């Protein structure tokens, strides 16, 4: 049994705590008196310090202890928060993050020691803010004040610990807790308790049967001792008694433990004298009633809650959110299996329809409903809010704004919008480039903003929302906007367009995403090399997404990234064109129309249809994919909507909804025009999934439909002879 590797849970939770601390520090910079933010910083350092001590990571303990001491001074009101202190604590947080990263390697202890000197300068800067006695540390007793009449003589903290049988299997070594307590205080005496040890025949060699009673001194506080048992408090039973605790507290401990050797252990570790033990046993035999072990301290004030055992953990369980950490690879495997299940259930349904067996068809219909529920539940496991990605940019805006000498605030909205975790990871780099560009190119200096009648503080906004089966993420700023003339000038210099070539505003703005394109006058650490927006476009193209750029001179720029919600399984709408079958994402389908025989020729000639007074461009899938054969007697139009633009696909047959498992086409067909993927039907045949964004963009870029001289769509009935069929 290997207890050496650090649990992944500790590493993951430490990183989460550091992110929370970073957010709290940035909040403090805006509103220093915020007590909740101050407590969040302290809790993060306090928890990381205690947990690191359990695993013997002394380098982390040493550094976080110094940070904890400074934050305790802030909590006590003895130290004011300013920009310099916030910047220092942010830098310290970065160093702690680098120490945590060392734990991913096999030689973690060696890496920790090698990384320790990098924090020496930060420790010196922390020391400039004073040398407090330690976070949460207060003298345990007042030497000038005698113990209470009903209190014990011991001036040390007493810790009674009983570990869960599975603690060793979870990677926890009971001796590590003793080592950590020795590093933060003085462990005076320890007595091991073996009352839980079974006979040799029934003993499990991997189970933990040991407990201990110990006396601890050194000016510690209850919270600091509790933090040492952070990772075992839910499954184990830990009782902490203050110096000079009342006898009824020890009586309650004896009553609750009900262990024959406990009394002797308390005397042996000098927690009680023999006379005090006799009095405590008398109270214990009376039912252990009296002052509860956590109800009072020596001076009569309520004590902090003691570390609870399993019963208390179960009692508070319903009020707490429970979560399980699962490796991303396991979720990917689950989604793959669910996809195969969807395909198999479609095949079963098709076979049941052919048999015309009523009971079998009813059973398969029930199975299909369950498969849909399993599919939705599995997909929801990979759906995560985009909040975490957005909040990371608070630090980027803070640091980059300081480097550029600009005052900038970040506004976040739509942070609860959910999308596939794999998409979140792939959107990080594009968003980073966009935010950095907004600060460097968009937001003006404070002096220039004041001259233009704007507030000195600029604004960058991140906004996310769902729209027709996609997620839209907007990065907007209130800066100077894009310089159209400068963009055209640079494009002409690079040969990207010809002089006099007509371009719309959006086409001009799209030029900034060409490889190597930059309008910066000089190269800086932030921009000027032309390697930003082309990366954004390449990444978004890889996600089957689109980019829209809008800008108003003097008012700001907005970049909208539109990507699909998931890359795994979608609801599709099946259509037929001759012998071929195609899938359209169902969330993009608005309605379906039937073309009458007399209008088919007119529609074929004009390329559009009058849909309730709106000009709807049409695309014939038969012509696009060169499907052989003649159209049937009936043709239908599937109206789709993407990005606020509507278009119609002309097909032969409407085959209904279909659960679509997206299969990649492979590298050979990766850039196939008009197709974004494939799927397998219940019959085993392959159906192509239409790239609706690409096709809509293609139709809008084509020649405008012919219009009558008055600029209106051709007159006629409401649908110009088109009747709705679905």
**The residue count for the chain:** 726
527 falls within a domain: yes
Q: Final residue of a domain: which of 312, 342, 368?
A: 312
Sign of CA dihedral 438, 439, 442, 443: positive
Convert the pLDDT of each residue in 238-252 to its tens digit.
899 989 888 888 888
> Residue 677 sits in which domain range?
569-724
Q: Which residues face 551 on adjacent strands?
A: 557
463: confidence class by pLDDT, cuts 50, 70, 90: very high
Residues 333 and 466 in one domain: no
pLDDT in tens, 544-564: 788 889 998 889 999 999 887
Co-location of 663 and 596 in the same domain: yes
pLDDT for the residue numbered 318: 38
**Given a cut of 80, is residue 520 above it in pLDDT?**
no
Same domain as 610, residue 511: no
The arithmetic mean of pLDDT across residues 693-698, rounded, is 79
Mean pLDDT over 108-119 rounds to 84
DSSP-derived letter for residue 442 is I
Q: Please indicate, yes or no, if residue 2 is contained in any of the structural domains.
A: no
412, HSE (Cβ side, Cα atoms, 13 Å): 16
pLDDT number for residue 519: 65
Q: Could you read off the pLDDT of 165-223 as tens digits, one per residue?
A: 888 877 778 888 888 888 888 889 888 888 778 888 888 888 888 888 999 988 788 87
| pLDDT value, residue 522 | 55
Q: Please indicate, yes or no, whether residues 524 and 598 belong to a single structural domain of this protein.
A: no
Q: Please state which of the ranges 94-103, 346-355, 396-405 shows the lowest mean pLDDT.
A: 346-355
Q: Are residues 377 and 389 in the same domain?
A: no
- Picking from 564, 587, 602, the residue at the C-terminal end of a domain is 564
Query: What's the pLDDT score for residue 198?
Result: 85
Residues 343 and 447 in one domain: no
DSSP state of 642: E
Name the more confident of 380 and 524.
380
* End-of-domain residue from the set 257, 280, 312: 312
> Domain of 510: which CATH number?
3.30.565.10
pLDDT at 611: 83
- Beta strand 722-724 with 589-595: parallel, antiparallel or unpaired? antiparallel
| 275 located within any domain | yes
Residue 462: band (very low, low, confident or very high) from pLDDT cuts 50, 70, 90: very high
Rounded to whole angstroms, the Cα distance separating 29 from 99 reads 25
Q: What is the 3-state secondary structure (H, E, C) of 541-578?
A: HHCCCEEEEEEECCCEEEEEEEEECCCCEEEEEEEEEC
**Spatial distance between the Cα atoms of 588 and 640, rounded to a whole number of angstroms:** 5
* Residues 585, 710 within the same domain: yes
pLDDT on residue 469: 66
Say whether both 187 and 251 belong to one domain: yes
**Integer angstrom CA distances of residue 9 from 5, 316, 327, 626:** 11, 21, 11, 55
- 147 domain residue, yes or no: no
User: 353 in a domain, yes or no?
Assistant: yes
Residues 535 and 573 in one domain: no
Residue 530's pLDDT is 46
Please give the DSSP secondary-structure letter assigned to residue 438. Answer: I
Q: What is the CATH number of the domain that holds 639?
A: 2.40.50.180
Confidence bin at 130 (pLDDT 50/70/90): low
Q: Which of 82-96, 190-204, 704-718 has the highest mean pLDDT?
A: 82-96
Q: Are strands 237-241 and 470-477 parallel, antiparallel or unpaired?
A: unpaired
Q: State pLDDT tens for residues 7-53.
A: 677 888 888 889 889 888 888 887 777 888 888 888 888 888 877 87
Phi and psi dihedrals of 219, rounded to 5?
Answer: 65, 40
Q: 87-101, 289-303, 410-424, 631-645: lowest mean pLDDT where?
A: 289-303
Residue 709 lies in a domain: yes
Q: Which residue has the higher pLDDT, 528 or 629?
A: 629
**pLDDT per position as a tens digit, 570-618:** 788 999 988 889 999 888 899 998 887 767 777 777 778 888 888 888 8
Instruction: Answer yes or no: are the C-beta atoms of 161 and 259 closer than 8 Å.
Output: no
554 lies in the same domain as 626:
no
CA–CA gap between residue 489 and residue 491 (Å, rounded) = 5
Residue with tokens 């001009």, as numbered in its chain: 508
**182 located within any domain:** yes
Nearest to 251 by CA among 221, 276, 231: 276
Number of domains in the chain: 5
How far is the C-alpha of 585 from the C-alpha of 562, rounded, in Å? 15
Confidence of residue 708 (pLDDT cuts 50, 70, 90): very low
Confirm whether 143 is domain-assigned: no
Mark whether 274 and 352 lie in a shared domain.
no
pTM comes to: 0.60
478 and 537 belong to one structural domain: yes
């Amino acid at each position: 049994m290997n207890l050496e590797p650090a649990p992944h849970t500790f590493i993951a939770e430490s990183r989460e705590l550091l992110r929370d601390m970073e957010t709290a520090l940035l909040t403090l910079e805006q509103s220093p008196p915020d007590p909740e933010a101050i407590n969040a910083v302290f809790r993060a350092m306090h928890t990381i310090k205690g947990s690191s001590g359990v695993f013997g990571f002394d380098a982390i303990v040493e550094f976080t202890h110094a940070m904890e001491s400074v934050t305790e001074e802030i909590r006590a009101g003895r130290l004011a928060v300013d920009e310099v202190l916030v910047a220092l604590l942010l830098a310290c947080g970065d160093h702690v993050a680098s120490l945590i990263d060392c734990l991913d390697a096999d030689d973690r202890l060696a890496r920790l020691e090698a990384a320790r000197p990098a924090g020496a300068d930060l420790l010196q800067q922390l020391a400039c803010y004073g040398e407090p006695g330690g976070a949460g540390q207060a003298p345990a007793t007042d030497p000038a004040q005698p113990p209470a009449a009903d209190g014990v003589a011991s001036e040390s903290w007493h810790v009674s610990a009983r570990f869960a049988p599975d603690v060793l299997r979870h990677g926890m070594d009971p001796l590590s807790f003793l080592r950590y307590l020795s590093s933060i205080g003085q462990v005076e005496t320890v007595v091991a308790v073996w009352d839980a040890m079974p006979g040799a025949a029934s003993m499990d060699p991997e189970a933990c049967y040991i407990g201990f009673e110990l006396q601890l001194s050194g000016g510690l506080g209850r919270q600091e001792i509790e933090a040492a048992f952070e990772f075992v408090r839910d499954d184990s039973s830990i009782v902490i008694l203050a110096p000079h605790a009342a006898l009824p507290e020890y009586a309650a401990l004896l009553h609750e433990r009900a262990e024959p050797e406990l009394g002797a252990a308390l005397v042996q570790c000098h927690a009680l004298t023999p006379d005090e033990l006799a009095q405590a046993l008398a109270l214990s035999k009376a039912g252990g009633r009296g002052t509860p072990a956590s109800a009072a301290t020596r001076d009569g004030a309520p004590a902090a809650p003691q570390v609870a055992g399993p019963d208390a953990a179960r009692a508070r369980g319903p009020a707490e959110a429970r979560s399980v950490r699962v490796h991303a690879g396991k979720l990917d495997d689950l989604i793959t299996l669910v996809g195969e299940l969807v395909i198999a259930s479609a095949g079963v349904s098709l076979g049941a329809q052919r048999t015309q067996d009523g009971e079998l068809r009813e059973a398969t219909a029930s199975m299909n409903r369950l498969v849909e529920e399993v599919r939705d539940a599995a997909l929801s496991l990979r759906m995560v809010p985009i909040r975490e990605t957005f909040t990371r940019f608070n630090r980027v805006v803070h640091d980059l704004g300081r480097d550029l000498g600009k005052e900038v605030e970040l506004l976040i909205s739509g942070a609860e919008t959910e999308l596939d975790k794999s998409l979140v990871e792939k959107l990080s780099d594009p968003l980073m480039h966009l935010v950095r560009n907004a600060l460097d190119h968009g937001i003006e200096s404070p002096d220039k903003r004041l001259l233009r009648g704007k507030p000195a503080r600029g604004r960058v906004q991140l906004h996310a929302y769902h729209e027709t089966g996609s997620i839209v993420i907007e990065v907007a700023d209130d800066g100077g906007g894009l310089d159209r003339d400068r963009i055209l000038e640079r494009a002409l210099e690079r040969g990207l367009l010809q002089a006099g070539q007509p371009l719309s505003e959006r086409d001009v703005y799209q030029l900034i995403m060409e490889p190597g394109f930059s309008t910066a006058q000089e190269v800086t650490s932030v921009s000027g090399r032309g390697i930003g927006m082309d990366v954004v476009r390449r990444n978004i193209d890889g996600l089957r997404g689109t980019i829209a750029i809008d800008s108003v001179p003097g008012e700001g720029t907005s970049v909208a990234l539109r990507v699909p919600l998931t890359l795994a399984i979608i609801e599709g709408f099946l259509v037929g064109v001759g012998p071929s079958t195609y899938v359209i994402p169902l969330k993009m389908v608005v309605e379906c129309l039937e073309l009458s025989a007399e209008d088919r020729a007119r529609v074929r000639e004009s390329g559009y249809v009058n849909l309730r007074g709106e000009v709807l461009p049409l695309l014939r899938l038969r012509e696009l994919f060169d499907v052989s054969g003649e159209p049937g007697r009936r043709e239908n139009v599937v109206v789709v909507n993407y990005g606020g633009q509507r278009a119609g696909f002309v097909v032969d047959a409407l085959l209904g909804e279909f659960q679509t498992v997206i299969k990649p086409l492979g590298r050979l067909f990766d850039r196939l025009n008009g197709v974004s993927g494939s799927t397998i039907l219940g019959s085993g045949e392959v159906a192509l999934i239409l790239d609706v964004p690409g096709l809509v963009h293609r139709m809008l870029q084509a020649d405008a439909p012919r219009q009558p001289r008055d600029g209106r769509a051709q007159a006629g009935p409401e649908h110009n002879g088109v009747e709705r069929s679905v």
